[in-house]
Structure 1
Amino acid sequence: MKSGVRPLVLIGAGHAHVVVLRSWLRTGFRPPEGSMLITPDRYGWYSGMMPGLIAGRYRLDQCRIDMIELCERCGIDLIQDRVRGLDADNQQITLESGRHEQGRWLSLNVGSAPPSPDINAASIEVLPAKPFPILVEAWRRWRAEGAPPSVAVLGGGAAAFELAMALQASLPGTSVRLISGSELLHGHHPRVQRKARGLLREYRIDLTENRHVTRVQGKALYEDDTSLGVTDASVVATGAGAYAWPCKSGLACEEGFISIDATLRSISHRNLFASGDCAALPATPHAGVYAVRQGEILADNLRAALLRGSMKLYHPQPRALALLATGDGRALLSYGPLTAHNRLLGRWKDHLDTRFIEG
């Protein structure tokens, strides 16, 4: 291996990489000296607990993992920087600081960013739901200095639904609206969708379906040239959108997401792994539950790559259980046609989320 080439570079502190590092700690595996993790934030944020934080049910420190401490325990160098570009053929990473790193093996778990409307003419705050620190900082400011009279949450998936419920719970003087580009909770069973619509009505959250906000002008929201009303602030939670740099790297991509096979390796560059929201694998939605389960396979396969062992195959579960927080300590169950909404489910969700944070 050439001098200056890292044996392993992990890019991103997403759920899968957290699981990888914890798995190695549990099994006693130490990656080769010089292995590193690159992430812009010292914390790994757990998406499942963010609505609970916004609802005022968790403290900030309960929703994140200290990556400096975790990397130190694993013997991995941590670089706090943001990736600006990747040359996949040469396995070279360019960072915002101007620094360059090269790895014999690369693993990307960088998440996604919600696609945003055109906000060049906006006069209001338009906040992305990810990365999480941006929304958390705005929410804390609203709580301390006064919240806007109205907030529109853009999106119709689980994250948007949970955030709308959380904002309604924690900002009682604010009118919350949810605008979905498709039907609410698309992909969930109609029974779950009906239950969710009923909960929004119960909590006095206005719902607009099958309307995609394409631009914000002043305080007004538009779908092309059709006005969808005005708002004093907006939160964009429109699902998983791909970052620009992976598809410019030479990697095979599908709609901007890195195309991988069942070993979680790039189909075009076999020394590169990808997992979670940044990856495209058939029958695998962009959801945290899939990233967590990919983490165990990724831990084994990265170890196999470093030790020249045989790799395992990841098989996505055909049906994933979802527990959607409703801002009041209760949760909405979605598992195929099964649905329910109660406090016991909320406690179950709290238990599962807390267990992930605590490792």
Structure 2
Amino acid sequence: MNTDFDLLLAGAGHSHLGVLRLWASRERPMGRIGLVSAEPHAWYSAMMPGLLAEHYQTRQCRVGLPKLCAAAGVEFVQGTLVALLPDTPELLLATGETLRSTWLSLNLGSLPRLPEQSGDGMELLSVKPFADFIRRWQQWQETPEPVAILGGGAAGVELALAMAGREPELHLFSADDLLTGHQPRLRRIALKHLQRAGVQVHEQSPIQAVHGNTLIGDGQIRWRGRRLVVATGPYPLEWLRESGLRLDSRGFIEVTPALQSRSHPHVFASGDCASLPGAARNGVHAVRQADVLATNLGRAAIGQPLRHYHPQTHSLALLADGHGGALLSWASLTAEGKLLGTWKDHIDRSFMRRHGADD
């Protein structure tokens, strides 16, 4: 394969899905363009709890990348990224192959940070990458056992509500109060649903380590078991620290409002891997950044002025309750009910139709 490109899209996050969709319906930038992804499918994070709760089938929750790339006139390259040399720029794959490009766009996502582990008495299952998570979760279902979930944010709450009743015992550990950053009423609503579902919630219970089959927090044993799902907040990919890109204090790529690297103007970054003031790391911002990114990747190549992404002050959060309903949080507004679940389902299915969900 010729490894030289004019533009490479690294990663198949929500921003790049939107870019591909837009280019499929309008003129894309000139030159040879490729998209690199470890998996041939991109998973829609908002539908993962519904998949676990058996409200959706696998094919409804993922997009076939080769088909979407073909529609956009983009080459699909399957490979796992292990390093980046931004000065060239070059992408290094796990196979040892090197891809070169004039322009580069990174939509790499993030991973939950796993607690330190000693011994092999407990299996740690990260919610990302989604493909690995779903495969292992389905294997767990063949022999149900007690499960602990680490993470008291929206992801942890949704997963707990989706898994409830499918395991003999379920514990949810939150380092702070549940759903910190949202309105206190949303926490109270979530606790009501979790209690009703039989989930044992442990707030203000940070977990620092896993020793054998025990969870350790503040020097004390918090739980014993053999299965742990990790759904903590976003943590940057480790190899980015060695890339030479300008990163923030946590290790995310610093970008301008044009989604352009502050240290390497020929590199763009969006979604969870990027650091932009005012843009929280969630799917809402990643989706909204797609239009600006698609425009700027075309303009940058021909020297035209770039557009800016302006994060909205408030983002809508709809949390699946595991039974077809949803919990809503927007600014100071909170609500719950079946109608909100129907609305969430409509939003999610519409997103998948636009991007060509698997048939």
Fold conserved between structures, TM > 0.5: yes
Which amino acid in 2 is paired with 1:147?
P
- Report what 2:12 is aligned to: 13
1:270 equivalent in alignment to 2:265: yes
1:147 equivalent in alignment to 2:144: yes
Is the 8 Å Cα contact of residues 16 and 275 (structure 1) preserved in structure 2? yes
Cα drift, residue 202 of structure 1: 1.6
- Report what 1:327 is aligned to: 322
Partner SS, residue 122 of structure 1: coil
| 1:24-58 deviation digits (Å, cap 9, x = unpaired) | 1122x133342101100000110000010011110
Q: Which moves more between the two structures, 16-25 or 114-123?
A: 114-123
Residue number among 222, 226, 236 corresponding to 1:242 in the alignment: 236
Partner SS, residue 253 of structure 1: coil
- Report what 1:306 is aligned to: 301
- Report what 1:83 is aligned to: 81
- Report what 2:203 is aligned to: 209
Is the 8 Å Cα contact of residues 115 and 210 (structure 2) preserved in structure 1? yes
- Report what 1:26 is aligned to: 25
Q: In 2, distance between residues paired with 1:283 and 1:122?
A: 40
Cα drift, residue 336 of structure 1: 2.0
Which amino acid in 2 is paired with 1:273?
F
- Report what 2:54 is aligned to: 56
Which amino acid in 2 is paired with 1:65?
V
Which amino acid in 2 is paired with 1:167?
M
Is the 8 Å Cα contact of residues 247 and 258 (structure 1) preserved in structure 2? no
- Report what 2:357 is aligned to: none
Is the 8 Å Cα contact of residues 33 and 76 (structure 1) preserved in structure 2? no
TM score, norm. by length of structure 1: 0.95
- Report what 2:119 is aligned to: 121
TM score, norm. by length of structure 2: 0.95
- 1:64-75 → structure 2 map (5 Å cutoff): 64-75=62-73
Partner SS, residue 250 of structure 1: coil
Q: In 1, distance between residues paired with 2:117 and 2:132?
A: 16
Q: In 2, distance between residues paired with 1:127 and 1:235?
A: 5
Which amino acid in 2 is paired with 1:132?
F
Cα drift, residue 275 of structure 1: 0.4
Cα drift, residue 224 of structure 1: 4.5
Which amino acid in 1 is paired with 2:199?
I
How many pairs are equivalent?
352
Q: In 1, distance between residues paired with 2:116 and 2:191?
A: 28
- Report what 2:160 is aligned to: 164
Is the 8 Å Cα contact of residues 9 and 103 (structure 1) preserved in structure 2? yes
Which amino acid in 2 is paired with 1:221?
L
Q: In 2, distance between residues paired with 1:81 and 1:106?
A: 16
Which amino acid in 1 is paired with 2:181?
G
Cα drift, residue 160 of structure 1: 0.7
Is the 8 Å Cα contact of residues 215 and 224 (structure 1) preserved in structure 2? no
Is the 8 Å Cα contact of residues 52 and 58 (structure 1) preserved in structure 2? yes
Which amino acid in 2 is paired with 1:216?
V
Partner SS, residue 178 of structure 1: strand
Partner SS, residue 18 of structure 1: helix
- 1:100-115 → structure 2 map (5 Å cutoff): 100-115=98-113
Cα drift, residue 309 of structure 1: 2.1
Cα drift, residue 203 of structure 1: 1.4
Q: In 1, distance between residues paired with 2:185 and 2:331?
A: 9
Structure 1: 5+ residue runs without aligned partners? none
Q: Which moves more between the two structures, 269-278 or 297-306?
A: 297-306
Q: In 2, distance between residues paired with 1:164 and 1:214?
A: 20
Cα drift, residue 166 of structure 1: 0.6
| 1:161-189 deviation digits (Å, cap 9, x = unpaired) | 100111114x0x42111101121111101
Partner SS, residue 265 of structure 2: coil
Q: In 2, distance between residues paired with 1:25 and 1:34?
A: 15
Cα drift, residue 281 of structure 1: 0.6
- Report what 1:251 is aligned to: 245
Structure 2: 5+ residue runs without aligned partners? 355-359
Q: In 2, distance between residues paired with 1:12 and 1:44?
A: 9
Q: In 2, distance between residues paired with 1:304 and 1:136?
A: 38
Q: In 2, distance between residues paired with 1:224 and 1:202?
A: 29
Is the 8 Å Cα contact of residues 325 and 342 (structure 2) preserved in structure 1? yes
- Report what 1:193 is aligned to: 187
Is the 8 Å Cα contact of residues 118 and 212 (structure 2) preserved in structure 1? no
Which amino acid in 2 is paired with 1:298?
L
- Report what 2:168 is aligned to: 174
Identity %: 41
